[in-house]
Amino acid sequence: MSSNQLTGRIPFGMGDLSQLRFLNLSDNFLTGFILNSFQNLKNMERLDLSQNKLSGKIPYELVGLTFLSTFSVAYNNLSGRIPFVRQFSTFNMQCYDGNTDLCGEPLPRNCSTTIELEPEHEGQNKYEKEGARIIDNPLFFYAFVAIS
């Protein structure tokens, strides 16, 4: 679906296409943020959202896409820390080019501690935000591992 002059937000239902392996929405005019529901795309191998007008952060939940070998969000308006773990540690700087407010590895821009607190995404309710804050906490991770 690249280069089709698509406008508006990425449809929320896109995250329900669990068998999708390749998604190329590059070179359009998409706005809004990258959906947290993309974490459901467990078979995703290639995800290209480059050259749009997407904003907000890269959802940390995407690191759960273990088959992802190609990823690009270059030339958007993204901000915040890049989730540089698992397969995301294999993606190079070019995957993130043109996003002046992204920081952390593999980019040369270090993140300040204030960058962690970002405004709520439109459509994300208070309880979803609170839950994400708890799950992103390293103590939650270690407690979960210990209990498991």
63-93 pLDDT tens trace: 999 999 999 999 999 999 999 888 889 999 9
Sheet strands (E) in the chain: 7-9, 22-24, 29-31, 46-48, 55-56, 70-72, 77-81, 101-103
User: How far apart, in whole angstroms, are the C-alpha atoms of residue 13 and residue 77?
Assistant: 23
User: How far apart, in whole angstroms, are the C-alpha atoms of residue 132 and residue 1?
Assistant: 30
- Model's pTM, two decimal places? 0.72
> Residue 47: is its pLDDT beyond 70?
yes
Residue 140 or residue 89, greater confidence: 89
pLDDT of res. 59: 94
91-121 pLDDT tens trace: 999 999 999 999 989 988 888 754 443 434 4
Average pLDDT for 18-30: 94
pLDDT of res. 110: 86
pLDDT of res. 123: 43
What is the pairing mode between strands 22-24 and 46-48? parallel
Domain spanning 7-117: CATH 3.40.50.300: no
Phi and psi at 123, nearest 5°, equal 90, -5
pLDDT of res. 26: 96
Where in the chain are the domains? 7-117
Q: What is the mean pLDDT of the chain?
A: 81
